[in-house]
Amino acid sequence: MSLGTTLRLTDGDVARYREDGFLVLPGAVSPDELAELRHETLRLCRGDYDIPGVEPLPEDTPADEVLKRYLCLHQVHKVSPVARRYCAHPTIADVLSRLIGPNVKCMQSMLFIKPPGFPGQAYHQDERYIPTEDRSLTGAWIALDDATVENGCLWAIPGSNRDGLLPWAPHDNPEYDFADEAQGVPREREVLVECSAGSIVFFNGFLLHSSRKNRSLGFRRVLVNHYMSAESRLRWQGREDYRDVFIIAGKDPHAELGYEEIARPHLRRSRAS
Pairing of strands 138-143, 104-112: unpaired
Q: Domains (ranges, CATH) in the chain?
A: 21-28+62-267 (2.60.120.620)
Tell me the pLDDT of the chain averaged across its residues: 95
* Tens-digit pLDDT profile for residues 163-214: 999 999 999 999 999 999 999 999 999 999 999 999 999 999 999 999 999 9
Shortest CA distance to 69 belongs to which of 216, 265, 223, 268? 268
* Tens-digit pLDDT profile for residues 108-148: 999 999 999 999 999 999 999 999 989 999 999 999 999 99
Instruction: State the sign of the Cα–Cα–Cα–Cα dihedral 170, 173, 175, 181.
Output: negative
Residues 6+ apart with CB under 8 A from 129: none
On the question of pLDDT at 251 being above 80, the answer is yes
- What is the rounded distance in angstroms from the CA atom of residue 85 to the CA atom of residue 77? 8
Q: Compute the half-sphere exposure of residue 61: CA atoms within 13 Å on the CB side of its CA.
A: 17
On the question of pLDDT at 273 being above 50, the answer is no
On the question of pLDDT at 3 being above 80, the answer is no
Looking at residues 159-165, what average pLDDT do you find?
A: 95
- For residue 8, what pLDDT is reported? 74
- What is the rounded distance in angstroms from the CA atom of residue 80 to the CA atom of residue 83? 5
134 phi, psi to nearest 5 deg = -120, 15
pTM of the model: 0.95
* Tens-digit pLDDT profile for residues 40-85: 999 999 999 999 999 999 999 999 999 999 999 999 999 999 999 9
- What is the rounded distance in angstroms from the CA atom of residue 136 to the CA atom of residue 231? 10
Mind giving me the DSSP string for the chain? Answer: -------PPPHHHHHHHHHHSEEEETT-S-HHHHHHHHHHHHHHHHTSS--TT-----TTS-HHHHHTT-SEEE-GGGT-HHHHHHHT-HHHHHHHHHHT-S-EEEEEEEEE---TT--B--SB-GGGTS-BSSS--EEEEEESS-B-TTTT-EEE-TTGGGS-PPPEE----TTB-SS-EESS--GGG-EEE-B-TT-EEEEETT--EEE----SSS---EEEEEEEETTS-B-BTTBSS----EEEES--TTGGG--------EEPP----
Dihedral through CA 107, CA 175, CA 67, CA 39, nearest 10? -50
